[in-house]
């Protein structure tokens, strides 16, 4: 297995301290704090460790404080309810004696029922697009530091943007984007692991969609962007080592907050998950 994927799976393999208490480590992916998707994935993994025979169908999380990737994170799971068909869990992430994150997640026994879905957008296929990290090494070294963090090629996922963005000199664009994503190598046939990894990668690119109408990007000098909350609904099983289309739009930005929502489709058009996120957005005065 690719070493970056091996490391990510190890990151989600939490240490069990007590029945409802777990400890995880962090990785520095270039952001000033712990990556929100990491905390989402670890919290979901901790909740799964207290359930049996049920699959997560939704989660709702709040990011309360910046995480320190130099210190461990403790996850405390509250077994809120174990019903006939549904199970509820609340997970609190603690670091340096303070809550940095909390999440409510709901699990359900697998059932058959009515089905429908919206169609997948008609977009360029991933083979016709360049990888976000397809930047020659000599050119990468000349990019501003903030841009280099966005095009680093040592993360465990590959992204191909249907609507390319010039991170160094962005221009105002409609508040939507489509991104093909997948893990950079094969993964184990473990549906729970696949779902935790899907939660992990869902935090990429989402709130950045709200920056597009304002001619800004995550690499804009002086910009301040941080996730406030994150919601996710798992509709159908999915593999993150196959191409998935992340189709995102941002209906609104106000009060220094940007809102974005998205759908995740398999290559053959099956809607597997939906997400929504609100984030803090503070542009520098000259932006």
Report, as residue numbers or ranges, the catalytic residues: 203, 227, 277
Cα–Cα dist 95/105, whole Å: 21
Going 286 to 164 to 146 to 68, the CA torsion angle's sign is positive
At 202, list the tokens. 């869902």
Question: HSE of 126 in the Cβ direction (CA atoms, 13 Å)?
Answer: 17
For 110-151, the DSSP string reads --------PPPP----GGGS--TT---HHHHTTS-HHHHHHS
Structure tokens that stand for 44 in this block: 């979901």
| Rounded (10°) angle between helices 3-12 and 191-201 | 100
* Angle at the Cα of 228 from the Cα atoms of 179 and 159, rounded to 5 degrees: 15
Q: From CA 167, how far away is CA 216, in angstroms rounded?
A: 8
Residue with tokens 């303070």: 98
Lookup: tokens for 201: 């990668």
CA distances from 255 to 252, 278, 279 (A): 10, 11, 11
Contacts of 73 (CB under 8 A, 6+ apart): 23, 24, 25, 26, 34, 39, 42, 67, 93, 94, 95, 100
């Amino acid at each position: 297995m690719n070493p970056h994927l091996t490391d990510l799976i190890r990151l989600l393999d939490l240490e069990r301290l007590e029945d409802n208490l777990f400890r995880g480590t962090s990785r520095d992916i270039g952001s000033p704090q712990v990556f929100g998707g990491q905390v989402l994935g670890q919290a979901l993994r901790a909740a799964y460790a207290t359930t049996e025979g049920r699959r997560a169908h939704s989660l709702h999380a709040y990011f309360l404080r910046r995480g320190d990737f130099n210190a461990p994170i403790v996850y405390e799971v509250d077994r809120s309810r174990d019903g006939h068909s549904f199970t509820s869990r609340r997970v609190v992430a603690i670091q340096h004696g303070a809550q940095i994150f909390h999440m409510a997640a709901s699990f359900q026994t697998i059932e058959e029922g009515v089905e429908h879905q919206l169609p997948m957008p008609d977009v360029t296929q991933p083979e016709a697009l360049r990888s976000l990290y397809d930047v020659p090494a000599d050119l990468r070294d000349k990019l501003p530091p903030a841009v280099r963090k966005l095009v680093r090629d040592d993360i465990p996922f590959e992204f191909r943007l249907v609507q390319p963005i010039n991170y160094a000199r962005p221009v105002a664009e409609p508040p939507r984007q489509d991104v093909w994503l997948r893990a950079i190598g094969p993964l184990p046939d473990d549906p729970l692991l696949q779902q935790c990894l899907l939660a992990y990668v869902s935090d990429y690119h989402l709130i950045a969609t709200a920056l597009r109408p304002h001619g800004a990007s995550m690499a804009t000098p002086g910009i301040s962007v941080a996730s406030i909350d994150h919601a996710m609904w798992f509709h159908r099983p999915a593999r993150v080592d196959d191409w998935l289309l992340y189709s995102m739009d941002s209906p609104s930005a106000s009060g220094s907050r940007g809102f974005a929502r998205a759908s995740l489709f398999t290559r053959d058009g099956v809607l597997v998950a939906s997400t929504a996120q609100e984030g803090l957005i503070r542009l520098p005065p000259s932006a």
